[in-house]
Amino acid sequence: MRPLLIACGLALASQADAAVHIKKIDLQPADSGWTVSIQASAPTKFKTGTLGNPDRLTVDIPDAVLDIDASARPAPSPKVPGVRYSQFTRNPNVVRVVVDLPATGASWSICETQPTSKIAVALRPGPKSAPVSVAAKKPTPKPIPPVKSKARTKVASRSTTARSQGTEIESPPWNPAEAVAIIAGQDCPNALKARLIAVVSDPAIQSSKYVWAGSKPGAFDCSGLSSWIYGGLDVPLPHSSVLQSQTGVEVDKENLRAGDLVFFACRGESVSHVGVYLGENQFLHAANERRHLCITSLDDRYYSERYAGARRVFRTEPEIER
């Protein structure tokens, strides 16, 4: 069962409005789950909870009033979770959004994060015997037994074959010098080039793991990595590959340059994965819990068959004027 991601998009509002107006509630596929996007007229907070029999997630938005016409309501579908909303109370005004959790027999864990431009609540099914918990911890992986291979390092792969006194040592997921050389040879804005070089050279990034909903060094998912990279350039990106695929301008594959976001449809026809292009057909991404962060070729069969386009989100002033 796929996890759910609930995000509040915030827009500027008139100071004359005493209450926040909820303008739109939309449901879209996101990284390994769904995104319920709640568009408000001003920055706001919300509180999450759960209800039983049947299992449901609730999102309560205080000091808010519904201001949604019928055409903005998400269309019902048997393939997606059910979403309902109402003016839950008046005086005080509270809008409640309810998401039906599929009856899988599993419990659900809730992880809350608060990026710069949105509040996100990630839901994922847990073991049937586990209680509902906040920020459920990932189980400790079993140690990998030592192997007899020689150490090897590639730009586009993660290797775990180095040995020292019989103990397995993970070698870098890419060769920093080779990655830097690729980026340095690209024709892109200097600030973007410097940021990418700093990222691929940072041991803390090389040692980071893939963690769903992760968005900082040590723990990234795919859109968390790309949004963190661009956050260092003061370019805010939503923590969702689907929403990132709707930002910036479209770029043809033959015109890719370092820093462009490359997207993949790994689950059907919808975008579900994103990476950051480095040059020479290589892209950096948080792949999965097996490969973690790595540099991969666009010619890789799996990704070439699932390539879904690219967007440029960092542009110079002359480019914007054109």
Flag whether pLDDT at 41 surpasses 90.
Answer: no
pLDDT (0 to 100) of residue 198: 97
Highest mean pLDDT among 52-66, 135-149, 208-222, 305-319: 208-222
pLDDT in tens, 123-164: 555 554 343 333 333 444 444 444 443 333 345 544 333 333
Contact assessment for residue 222 and residue 285, using Cβ atoms and an 8 Å cutoff: yes
Domains assigned to the chain: 4-134 (2.60.40.3500), 162-321 (3.90.1720.10)
From 222, 239, 266, 294, active-site residue: 222
From 21, 111, 266, 285, active-site residue: 285
The backbone torsions φ and ψ at residue 318, rounded to the nearest 5 degrees and listed phi first, read -60, -40
Is 266 part of the annotated catalytic residue set?
no
Higher pLDDT, 228 or 112: 228
Name the one residue in this structure whose structure tokens are 């030592």.
146
Which residue, among 139, 28, 22, has the nearest Cα to 79 in the 3D structure? Answer: 28
Position 296 confidence tier, pLDDT thresholds 50, 70, 90: very high
Average pLDDT, the chain: 75
Flag whether pLDDT at 318 surpasses 70.
Answer: no
Higher pLDDT, 99 or 121: 99
CB atoms within 10 A of CB 50: 15
Higher pLDDT, 131 or 9: 9
pLDDT (0 to 100) of residue 292: 94
From 21, 188, 266, 273, active-site residue: 273
pLDDT in tens, 214-256: 999 999 999 999 999 999 999 999 999 999 999 999 999 999 9
Angle, in degrees to the nearest 10, between helices 190-201 and 176-184: 170
Q: 257 CB contacts (<8 Å, ≥6 apart)?
A: 186, 187, 188, 251, 277, 279, 312
Position 281 confidence tier, pLDDT thresholds 50, 70, 90: very high
Contact assessment for residue 119 and residue 8, using Cβ atoms and an 8 Å cutoff: yes
The backbone torsions φ and ψ at residue 99, rounded to the nearest 5 degrees and listed phi first, read -115, 125
Position 68 confidence tier, pLDDT thresholds 50, 70, 90: confident
Higher pLDDT, 182 or 126: 182
Higher pLDDT, 96 or 69: 96
Q: Would you say the pTM of this structure is higher than 0.75? A: no
pLDDT (0 to 100) of residue 97: 84
Name the one residue in this structure whose structure tokens are 């049947």.
54
Position 45 confidence tier, pLDDT thresholds 50, 70, 90: confident
pLDDT (0 to 100) of residue 76: 57
Name the strand (E) or helix (H) holding 182: helix 176-184
Contact assessment for residue 256 and residue 188, using Cβ atoms and an 8 Å cutoff: no
Mean pLDDT on 258-275: 92
| Beta pairing class for 33-40 and 4-10 | parallel
What is the spatial distance between Cα 180 and Cα 9, in angstroms, rounded to a whole number? 36
Position 208 confidence tier, pLDDT thresholds 50, 70, 90: very high
Higher pLDDT, 269 or 316: 269
